[in-house]
């Protein structure tokens, strides 16, 4: 049990690893909320602690099971993003193997081992369909938004919420928890509710909890009429921007860099080529794009200086859904230098020259994300082929086409 402080509320609460578990009055989906994977992002922890406690009183109106889980307990207690390494960058296959093969875990590994066990137990003992939601906040000012790995199940479920969606961030980050869960085939969304210590970040997390439970089928509107207020709240907070964006660039930094954003830049603000954005080790960094700025860094910890995003055209989204549905990526292996990794046909191994020749957008259309393997080969993992489609096929939102 640890104490967590919210500067926004000027309040301290104590939470366990499992903040709460609500077993509903009848069968239904399992919705798992994570919060505080980054210890200085407490909005989701406060929202879950309070809302799930309230929901306990209305248990009989809940279908299925709801979990609220706290992420980095030691960092939450310290009010820091992490203690020795970022808990949201270590969910890679290598690190998980390492975790299971050793007993003496240090700091963030201990947190990861505990979370991994809970996640495994949930998948083993609870009923599907499963939904995983991870709450975060940002160091800059921002409207609330969703981040997802670009799988059709994630797109369709995310589109129910009246906030912008950002795709493709996983290509720039190594080992976020949600990418790991997504690769297991489940719906998994990140919700960034606002700036770290603003009261709105807590309020918008509360709204998101209620809407997620509604859309997943845990609750129905007639029992929880306040859901429409929450919908309007998020719609207003995101200034009616519910477009889909993709990450096109990241300005990465390392611990030794002296990085400083120009003051008062916001996520989603439009930027022009040549705009003075930041300084790094006294060198001025200018925008190379006419696009939008995304998650500019205004804190000491973290290795992403800023991202650049661009709106995706609806036509592109439609085409990519059709191509994935038809499994058109199967045609790629007809090309020289591209082969399936194994019988499961979830991963392609491609010659780098071919990948360059085909260009990234083709692979994005087909649902692949890139991972460098060796100097001349690349491993491409398909999000669609990993999705547990049968688990979600009968859900109302799955039938909503692009």
Which residues contact Zn ion by CB under 5 A?
Answer: 38, 41, 136
The 10 Å Cβ neighbour count of residue 286 is 12
Q: CB of residue 147 vs Zn ion: minimum separation in angstroms?
A: 10
Q: CB of residue 40 vs Zn ion: minimum separation in angstroms?
A: 8
Comparing CB distances to Zn ion, the nearer of 185 and 190 is 190
Q: CB of residue 37 vs Zn ion: minimum separation in angstroms?
A: 6
Sign of CA dihedral 92, 98, 101, 106: negative
The 10 Å Cβ neighbour count of residue 81 is 21
Comparing CB distances to Zn ion, the nearer of 136 and 364 is 136
Q: CB of residue 179 vs Zn ion: minimum separation in angstroms?
A: 14
Comparing CB distances to Zn ion, the nearer of 38 and 50 is 38
Least Cα distance to 150 among 379, 360, 396 occurs for 360
Cβ atoms 91, 57 nearer than 8 A: no
Q: Find the DSSP H helices in 151-226.
A: 152-158, 177-183, 199-216
Q: CB of residue 226 vs Zn ion: minimum separation in angstroms?
A: 27
Residue nearest to Zn ion (CB): 136
Q: CB of residue 195 vs Zn ion: minimum separation in angstroms?
A: 12
C-alpha 238/C-alpha 402 separation (Å) is 21
Comparing CB distances to Zn ion, the nearer of 172 and 357 is 172
Q: CB of residue 140 vs Zn ion: minimum separation in angstroms?
A: 12
Strand order in the sheet with 130-138: 18-23, 63-70, 26-35, 130-138, 187-195, 145-148, 165-167, 244-252, 304-311, 291-294, 270-271
CA distances from 3 to 49, 279, 322, 393 (A): 12, 37, 49, 41
Q: CB of residue 136 vs Zn ion: minimum separation in angstroms?
A: 3
Least Cα distance to 123 among 44, 181, 190, 183 occurs for 181
Cβ atoms 397, 156 nearer than 8 A: yes
Comparing CB distances to Zn ion, the nearer of 192 and 395 is 192
Backbone dihedral region for residue 268 (phi beyond 0: left; psi -120 to 50: alpha; all else: beta): left
C-alpha 278/C-alpha 294 separation (Å) is 13
Comparing CB distances to Zn ion, the nearer of 24 and 176 is 176
Comparing CB distances to Zn ion, the nearer of 71 and 185 is 71
Comparing CB distances to Zn ion, the nearer of 127 and 300 is 300
Least Cα distance to 193 among 44, 79, 75 occurs for 44
């Amino acid at each position: 049990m640890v104490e967590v402080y919210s500067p926004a509320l000027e309040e301290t609460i104590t939470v366990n690893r499992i903040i709460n578990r609500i077993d509903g009055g009848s069968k239904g989906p399992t919705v798992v909320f994570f919060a505080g994977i980054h210890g200085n992002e407490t909005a989701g922890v406060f929202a879950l602690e309070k809302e799930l406690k309230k929901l306990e009183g209305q248990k009989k109106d809940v279908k299925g099971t709801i979990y609220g889980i706290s992420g980095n307990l030691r960092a939450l207690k310290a009010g820091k993003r992490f203690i020795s390494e970022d808990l949201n960058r270590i969910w890679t296959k290598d690190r998980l193997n390492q975790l299971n093969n050793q007993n003496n875990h240090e700091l963030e590994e201990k947190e990861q081992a505990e979370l991994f066990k809970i996640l495994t137990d949930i998948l083993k003992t609870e009923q599907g369909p499963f939904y995983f939601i991870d709450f975060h906040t940002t160091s800059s000012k921002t409207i609330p938004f969703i981040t997802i790995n670009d799988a059709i199940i994630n797109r369709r479920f995310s589109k129910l919420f009246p906030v912008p969606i950002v795709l493709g961030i996983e290509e720039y980050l190594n080992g976020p928890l949600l990418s790991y869960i997504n690769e297991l085939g489940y719906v998994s969304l990140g919700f960034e509710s606002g700036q770290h210590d603003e009261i709105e970040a807590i309020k918008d997390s509360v709204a998101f909890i209620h809407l997620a439970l509604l859309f997943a089928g845990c609750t129905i509107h007639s029992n929880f009429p306040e859901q429409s207020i929450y919908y309007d709240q998020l719609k207003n907070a995101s200034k009616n921007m519910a477009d889909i964006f993709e990450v096109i660039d990241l300005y990465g930094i390392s611990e030794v860099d002296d990085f400083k954003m120009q003051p008062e830049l916001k996520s989603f603000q439009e930027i022009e080529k040549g705009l003075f954005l930041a300084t790094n080790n006294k060198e001025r960094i200018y925008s190379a794009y006419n696009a939008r700025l995304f998650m500019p860094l205004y804190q000491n910890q973290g290795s992403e200086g800023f991202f650049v995003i661009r709106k995706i055209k609806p036509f592109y989204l439609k085409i990519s859904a059709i191509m994935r549905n038809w499994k058109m990526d199967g045609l790629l292996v007809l090309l020289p230098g591209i082969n399936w990794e194994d019988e499961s046909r979830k991963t392609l191994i491609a010659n780098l020259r071919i990948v360059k020749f085909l260009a990234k957008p083709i692979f994005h259309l087909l649902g692949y994300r890139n991972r460098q393997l060796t100097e001349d080969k690349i491993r491409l993992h398909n999000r669609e082929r990993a999705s547990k489609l049968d688990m979600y096929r009968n859900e109302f939102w799955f039938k909503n086409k692009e």
